[in-house]
Amino acid sequence: MIRKLAIALGVSADLLVFDKDEREPRDELKRQFEALSQFDEEEVRVAKAVLESLILKHNAKRAFVDDLRQVK
């Protein structure tokens, strides 16, 4: 339903579902992401791998903390 509406309106589903700034990176991260456009393919691959590992670490830590809260 949302997909069809987004297509009909010519916008992304994110625009329909999320608030304006809810899905955008913080300003300081925007500048860093913009700098990635100057990287070659190998540098982009490395940057993506680093971000992926940081996200995995964050999610694992959050899951661990949530598990601890449920035990208490």
2-49 pLDDT, tens digit each:
889 989 999 888 888 888 777 777 888 889 999 999 999 999 999 999
Total number of domains constituting the chain: 1
Per residue, the 3-state secondary structure of 11-39, as one string, reads CCHHHHHCCCCCCCCCHHHHHHHHHHHHC
Q: Is residue 5 part of a domain?
A: no
Which pLDDT does position 43 carry in this prediction? 97
Structure-model confidence comparison of residues 29 and 70, the more confident one: 29
Per the structure, the complete domain to which residue 43 belongs is given by: 25-72
Here the tokens at position 33 are 């992401």
Q: Is residue 34 part of a domain?
A: yes
Instruction: Identify the three-state secondary structure at position 10.
Output: coil
* Separation CA 6–CA 27 (nearest Å): 26
Low-confidence winner among 8-12, 38-42, 54-58, 68-72 (lowest mean pLDDT): 68-72
Q: Is residue 43 part of a domain?
A: yes
Q: Is residue 31 part of a domain?
A: yes
Neighbours of 44 (CB within 10 A): 13
Q: Is residue 64 part of a domain?
A: yes
* Separation CA 71–CA 14 (nearest Å): 36
Q: Is residue 17 part of a domain?
A: no
Q: Is residue 3 part of a domain?
A: no
Q: Is residue 6 part of a domain?
A: no
